[in-house]
Amino acid sequence: MLSSVPYVCQWATPELAADLIAGRVTLADDVNWARSGARDRAEYIEWANHVCGMACLKMVLSHRDGEAPSLLELVRRSLPYGAYVREGERIKGLIYAPFVDYVREQFALESEVRVGIEPEDLPQVLSQRRYFIASVHPGIRQPEQTPPQRGGHLVLVTAAEADCVTFHNPSGDSPATRQQVTLPLSSFGRFFAGRGIAIT
């Protein structure tokens, strides 16, 4: 039996998540920035809000291998593949197809882009693949609310049953919204964009 999937936050200090989200502190206030693998504080500030997908990848690698490169090393290694694109000051990504190439070549992970998925399809996806990086609205940390749109953030789905889904959220703002979060499929579906990356 595989051990449980380790949790990775996209920010260097998970305890700052709620304050970062609320705007009470900024990434420049995160004294633990070096934990991210950033070369300097500026690199951390540039990337930390964009690495939810790499946090999911780090969870997968940590689960499989017992260890994984730092978040920013994962980012840097992905750039030649086009997993992120810079448009001026803006960072666009994670871009799925280049990411699939990246993890296959760098980590021997077999994965595929999946689109047009309904929430009720997730149990079948998870029966075929070990993990699913799902595109959801970041407001999923408040599942009782209805988001303005779907997608825009990535979480790592580790299990799905006929009535519920379990996932790790790299931007959870409390222990209850970070690790082993279990939601009814109907609740998850309000945030789920119907796309993601299935990984073996």
Q: Which of 100, 177, 127 is nearest to 191 (CA)?
A: 177
CB 118 within 8 A of CB 195: no
Q: What pLDDT score does 93 carry? A: 86
Q: Is the pLDDT of residue 55 over 80?
A: yes
* One-letter amino acid of 104: R
Q: What is the mean pLDDT of residues 189-198?
A: 98
Instruction: Give the percent of the chain with pLDDT over 70.
Output: 98
pTM comes to 0.96
Which pLDDT tens digit goes with each residue over 10-51? 999 999 999 999 999 999 999 999 999 999 999 999 999 999
Spacing of C-alpha 181 from chain mean position: 13
Res. 1 pLDDT band, cuts 50 70 90: very low
Q: Is the pLDDT of residue 173 over 60?
A: yes
Q: Is the pLDDT of residue 2 over 80?
A: no
Helix/strand/coil for 140: helix
